[in-house]
Structure 1
């Protein structure tokens, strides 16, 4: 399939065409194709110099294939059919898309929810191979997963060295630990940032172990790569980047991503991190909106993956990865920001560490609920007239400013809804309805139809490695609704003074502190009974 960018909106097409012409006159396409680190200004140059390796991955990543093939053959020979990926953000989002598109099973752990981790542990531990994937080598969630699995393997009489594979950057603490522990290590290109790493070892290793044909990704990316030097609309990355950048500068900075007709499964989730974390800084940015219908608001632009839209992006997955990365770099230049740093991501991490440190063995600083309605506690400032949960949700919607948005951020088990029993005779539609009635993500749709502003949804702590940068560094027009829940059965993190449940709540409180410190409207709803709380919350949303 050929890679192309076409337009269903004449105004967007005209603005993009003019930007393409101007960028070509400035020599930008050729310079970016050649890896010129000066394109984003002197302040960004040192960072860009270390972050442009993604341009060459269609060629350089082929060097990994023999090593990856050996890993896959060993796993098959030992009947290790359950592939678990412990990774966050750039280490997990691309493999999730690759495997979903290839229709091969991959269990992704990008959570600190003890229930979700317990479910993975209970699934074929004797046939599990764990990929521990972290660029920095110090990601707290991934380190926790590794510790939990090491203990589980040992308790089952399994040598962790026979079951754990590490993907990390050269010289990271994780590389050293892997060497000491006897774990196989595949090193990623250190000149590629996490969110640009889809075609590095971070994307390829877990996907290949799960059964995806990763060489095809590289072949498709290699086919489109020469076109990224062209200074015309034949360059899909240039055309897409020009469209996104000029639209945002004209005020259309909400990017609704649709893929309903696409053979690629879940690409908007990957694009969300790439675009939000790359552009959301210095009070600027493009906000991706995933899982919601367009509203035709004046600040909205719709991008379709093989789907008719304002901007339609057609092509195979490997090429899509490379073209969207190139486009994001172009949009960053147009917006006048550095698309390779993430200056606000560390804030919530530091808040979490502080909360854990200061609370010691005592309770976390959750505060006192402003309102309790059934199985839901409400934390935050509320006006006196708000007396119930539907009133809380109405109040939040009313606080969304012009050109603003509502972000729902759920520190819960994202797979719990699928545990709900369904009648054996139920149709697919009936099963889907049952799951939706127990899924916190259904809140996005229920609230989206009650406002003309965008409503986004993110699972915590996953979103901290994705849209978290935009929420803190981008335009300060967000309203935040955080969901947490009581933990019935916690899970120890071996060698650490906290459990997964305690870490999860500390992460939620840390990010909430970051938003409130910016003066943004932010409420936390705590479900004292998770299953009942979700149903109660969704019922309240229907009454808004």
Structure 2
């Protein structure tokens, strides 16, 4: 594992920061799990969240159970692995499986269409992993209830198909035991964002066919370096991230085009943003962003001679080093990297909204074709709304697009017969709400991020609410044509999804941030109309 500085300014800043950290004994103290590093107030939370440092060795005890679980699943013909989990419990498994070309369906959503899509993949061959790093969240519970009903309706005993991964003492433990589900306790003292090498990352990955032992070997190989004052990749990376952010380079762009790890920036995004975005400070990861030459950018490249910092190493080592580096960056910025003081705000707002007879969606201020606009705007059409939003970004600020939609819906777009892969990709991009990010990025020199809701809410959502208050927000919601009931609850997935969006918007508006919600009355037509408007903005 190696971290190389390719920018002299970054190198000088990192050297200065590292020298101070070494003088304070930080490398050895962090590697030894000293919770007092981040101050007395942070020590209680840190003491309960530093267990990730032991995972490269401690998680090896899981390997025999994981191998047996995978063998039983294959013997029973259970080849369709579905992971239901939000926050830090799912991004690592998604990266692991994508990098290993192991099929895994991730349900980190409450979108009815995306859930129906997963249910249609074949219950006869499905094994469901339910993961909850902080207990039974409303989303995870809803997904479990939906799958339980689907299994029962298909004549399948859910106890033969559900595996639950939960923290010891979690609210998920008791119902899992009562239902006879296979329960795998996660290692104690590991927060969700730092759980990649715990049962949360390894159980679904091993079931899908990824080599969990290899990941742990890769992490274990780099582990001894993390207590050293020199030749310590975690210290080198953390000093670069923290030093650059202190110097105003707090927008983290990542270039992974040559990396063997597929989707690693998405995992880094939730780790870094959720860990550092507090007390009005933080580092904002920009996944897929192109350098614009502004003074607040730091470009990290993976396995490539590019960028300001180059990071080389296998996936297991990347997980551990980035976690260590993020903890160091939090120390440099003066924030506790392990708490999440603002996560509960939108969750609480969602809970309140679900108790109402009807969701308070309000009246649109503008209707442009299949798109309704909610919020404050003086614009007369949708291109004008987007232009107005881009112009409202302050110096040093950013644009965040959040979409509460089916993130796989673009693959339903019609493709011409005989189309090659490039033509198919063009068709999919033209139907994908995520294409908003590059289209808007062409029209501003400020960074533009994109997140699927509610996936982002427990990671980058912390940054949006607790970090520097210089973001402007475009939220996208959509009409539900075919909803999914949540058994035993008075709401549907569609209602839950919209309540989550409104709760998130409420948290932003209470901070006085510019925020506009666009609602697609027809999802496919609405996405096309929105992308066309972005090209005109």
Q: Fold match, TM over 0.5?
A: yes
Equivalent residues in 2 for 1:63-74 (5 A)? 63-74=61-72
Q: Secondary structure at the match of 1:90?
A: helix
| Unpaired stretches in structure 2, ≥5 consecutive residues | none
1:444 lines up with 2:437 in the alignment = yes
Q: Output the CA distance in 2 between the equivalents of 1:540 and 1:38.
A: 51
Match in the other structure for 2:489: 496
Match in the other structure for 1:138: 136
Match in the other structure for 1:378: 373
Q: Secondary structure at the match of 2:201?
A: helix
Q: CA deviation at 1:447?
A: 0.4
Q: Output the CA distance in 2 between the equivalents of 1:164 and 1:487.
A: 28
Deviations 1:404-437 (A, max 9, x none): 0000000000000001221230011100000000
1:408 lines up with 2:386 in the alignment = no
1:472 lines up with 2:470 in the alignment = no
Equivalent residues in 2 for 1:126-165 (5 A)? 126-165=124-163
Q: Output the CA distance in 2 between the equivalents of 1:468 and 1:258.
A: 22
Match in the other structure for 2:388: 395
Q: Pick one of 276, 281, 285 that aligns with 2:273.
A: 276
Q: Secondary structure at the match of 2:395?
A: coil
Match in the other structure for 1:328: 326
Q: Secondary structure at the match of 2:41?
A: helix
Q: CA deviation at 1:57?
A: 0.5
Match in the other structure for 2:109: 111
Match in the other structure for 1:299: 296
Match in the other structure for 2:23: 25
Equivalent residues in 2 for 1:51-130 (5 A)? 51-130=49-128
Q: Output the CA distance in 2 between the equivalents of 1:83 and 1:294.
A: 37
Q: Secondary structure at the match of 1:173?
A: coil
Deviations 1:245-298 (A, max 9, x none): 010011111111120111110000000010001000000000000022111110
Match in the other structure for 1:311: 309
Equivalent residues in 2 for 1:256-271 (5 A)? 256-271=253-268
Q: Pick one of 9, 12, 27 that aligns with 1:14.
A: 12
Q: Output the CA distance in 2 between the equivalents of 1:488 and 1:199.
A: 39
Match in the other structure for 1:364: 359
Q: CA deviation at 1:67?
A: 1.1
Q: Output the CA distance in 2 between the equivalents of 1:379 and 1:221.
A: 47
Q: Pick one of 445, 450, 454 that aligns with 1:457.
A: 450
Q: CA deviation at 1:305?
A: 1.9
Q: Output the CA distance in 2 between the equivalents of 1:527 and 1:288.
A: 28
Deviations 1:383-424 (A, max 9, x none): 2xx110000000000000000000000000000000122123
Q: Output the CA distance in 2 between the equivalents of 1:141 and 1:67.
A: 27
Deviations 1:104-143 (A, max 9, x none): 1100000000000000001111100000000222211111
Q: Pick one of 247, 251, 257 that aligns with 2:248.
A: 251
Q: Output the CA distance in 2 between the equivalents of 1:369 and 1:510.
A: 17
Q: Output the CA distance in 2 between the equivalents of 1:504 and 1:410.
A: 11
1:485 lines up with 2:471 in the alignment = no
Q: Secondary structure at the match of 2:35?
A: coil
Match in the other structure for 1:46: 44
Q: Output the CA distance in 1 between the equivalents of 2:137 and 2:317.
A: 29
Q: Output the CA distance in 2 between the equivalents of 1:189 and 1:309.
A: 36
Deviations 1:43-81 (A, max 9, x none): 100111111111110100011111111110110100100
Q: Secondary structure at the match of 1:343?
A: coil
Q: Secondary structure at the match of 2:172?
A: helix
Could you tell which deviates more after superposition, 169-178 or 321-330? 169-178
Match in the other structure for 2:508: 515
Task: List structure 1 runs of 4+ shifted beyond 6 angstroms.
Answer: none
Q: CA deviation at 1:168?
A: 0.3
Q: CA deviation at 1:27?
A: 0.6
Return the TM-score normalized by structure 2.
0.99
Q: Output the CA distance in 2 between the equivalents of 1:117 and 1:218.
A: 32
Return the TM-score normalized by structure 1.
0.98
Q: Secondary structure at the match of 2:68?
A: helix
Q: Secondary structure at the match of 1:237?
A: helix
For the Cα contact (< 8 Å) 2:134–2:192, is it kept in 1?
A: no
Deviations 1:75-101 (A, max 9, x none): 010010000000112110000000000
Q: CA deviation at 1:531?
A: 0.3
For the Cα contact (< 8 Å) 2:84–2:130, is it kept in 1?
A: yes
Q: Secondary structure at the match of 2:433?
A: coil
Give the aligned length.
536
